[in-house]
Amino acid sequence: QVQLVESGGGLVQAGGSLRLSCAASGRSFSYYAMGWFRQAPGKEREFVAAINWSGTSINYRDSVKGRFTISRDNAKNTLYLQINSLKAEDTAVYYCAGYGRTSYSGSPDYWGRGTLVTVSS
């Protein structure tokens, strides 16, 4: 079992940057693939980025490539999402997700409660 707690969201102007963090409890974090998802107002939750257990395999949705960077520190049980060049359409609740296995194939098994990112234009 893994508990996930996101932080780092907030209000930022378009073009700005944020770094989201996800603190994981439990000894299994370093063996699990992790991901970030987001849900904009009135829309369904969507995949943003994922990273395998070792950080050697990473995937992004097309609309964030070149602006978002996912990373992890297994020694600190923490997942990160660096978000640069923010756009109004990035406004959403961002969720940390754990896959319960080493690769990010399929759907996550664990979810955090989310952190709100609001981008003002």
Question: In whole numbers, what is the pLDDT of the chain averaged over residues?
Answer: 96
Q: How far apart are CA 33 and CA 78, in angstroms?
A: 12
Cα–Cα–Cα angle for 119, 67, 38, rounded to 5 degrees: 55
Q: Is residue 31 scored above 80 in pLDDT? A: yes
Q: Is residue 14 scored above 90 in pLDDT? A: yes
The answer to whether 104 and 52 have CB atoms below 8 angstroms apart is yes
The answer to whether 35 and 99 have CB atoms below 8 angstroms apart is yes
Q: How far apart are CA 6 and CA 116, in angstroms?
A: 10
DSSP code at position 103: S
Q: Residue 62 phi/psi, 5° resolution? A: -60, -40
pLDDT digits (tens, 9 = 90+) for 32-79: 999 999 999 999 999 999 999 999 999 999 999 999 999 999 999 999
Share of the chain above pLDDT 70, in %: 100
**The pLDDT of residue 76:** 95
